[in-house]
Structures are given as structure tokens and as C-alpha cells.
Amino acid sequence: MLKLAMSVLWPSFLSAIIAEGFFFSVFDPSDLMLVGGHVDLEPIAAYTVGFFFFWTICAIASMISLYLVRTEVPGHPPF
């Protein structure tokens, strides 16, 4: 189970680092707004929340990819 978790969490961690780098190189944390109004967070808090958001999204994508690779159709070769 640990190997399965690490095969999802490690690539999603690396992808989240890249996604956050790209996102915050374009957008300033002090300029972020939600639907209702301005977000009053310190920049380090915005970076932290953004990182965990991207990590969650990337982990979901990694889990779906792992599920699709490991799911075999009966009577059909894996590739």
C-alpha cells in the first residue's frame, strides 16, 4: 500500500512544484481574488495554499492514471 501511495504522491508532488512555479510567476499572490472579493492572505500563506491545491489536483490526476494503467479488460492485452 505504501508503494502505491508513493507512486501517486511523489509524481504529483513534483508536478505541483512545477505548476505552482508557473502559476505564481504569472500571478502575484496579493492580486488574487475569489468569487466574492479580495483574498487577504500573506504571500507565504497564498503560496502554501496554492501548493496544496496543485498537489491535490495532481494527485487526483496521478490516481486516475494509475487506475487506468492497472485496470485490465478481460480478454484484452494490457497494451
40-54 pLDDT, tens digit per residue, is 788 899 899 999 999
pLDDT confidence bin for 79, thresholds 50/70/90:
low
Q: How far apart are CA 62 and CA 43, in angstroms?
A: 28
d(CA 25, CA 31): 12
Per-residue model confidence (pLDDT) at position 19: 95
Record the pTM.
0.78
